[in-house]
Amino acid sequence: MVAKSLREYLDNQHVRYTTISHRPTYTAQEIAANTHISGKDLAKSVMIKLDGKMVMAVLPAAYHVNFHLLKEATGATNIELAREDEFKDIFPDIEIGAMPPFGNLYGLEVYVAESLAEDEVIAFNAGTHTDLVKMPFATFAKLVKPKILRFSTRH
C-alpha cells in the first residue's frame, strides 16, 4: 500500500501513476530483480548530511553515491551518509529504508543524479517494502523540483 502522505499528495496533484506490489524486499537491487525493472530505472533514496544538513539524494538502484562528486557539485565542505537513527523521525508514515524520493513532503532538499534524470519513466519505493510507484520522470521532477547534479557512478 502506498504511504498515505504520498498517495494523498499525488492524488491531490491529479498525477497519473501506477503502483506495483511485490514480496517484501529490502534493497534496491533486490527490488529491481523481483519486479523486473532495470536497476537504471528504479530510483533509490539515500539520506546524506551536507555540512550537517539532512538532504535526500536520489539515484538509480544500479548506481552508488560518489561522495567526491556530490561534495564538488554542492560545494559542501563536509559530507557523510546519515545513520538511520538520525532520520527515522523525519518520515513518521514511512517504513525506514523505503523512503519515496519526495523529500519535499518532509521539508528536505532533494538532489537527483543526472543519470536518473535521463530516464523517461522511473519507479520508486512507495513508503513500504512491498510497493512501488511508477511515473514519468518529468512528472516527478515537476512535483519535487529537485536539483539535478552529477554525483552517481555505476556499481
Domain count, the chain: 1
For CA atoms 101, 104, 20, 142, the dihedral sign is negative
pLDDT of residue 33: 84
Q: How far apart are CA 144 and CA 146, in angstroms?
A: 6
pLDDT of residue 52: 96
**Residue 149: closest CA among 117, 113, 118:** 113
CATH number at residue 68: 3.90.960.10
pLDDT of residue 2: 87
Tell me which residues of the chain have a pLDDT lower than 70: none
Query: H helices then E strands: how many in the chain?
Result: 6, 10
pTM of the model: 0.95
* Domain around 84: 4-154
pLDDT of residue 88: 92
pLDDT of residue 124: 97
CB 28 within 8 A of CB 44: yes
Q: How far apart are CA 99 and CA 88, in angstroms?
A: 10
pLDDT tens digits along 11-44: 999 999 999 999 998 888 889 888 989 888 999 9
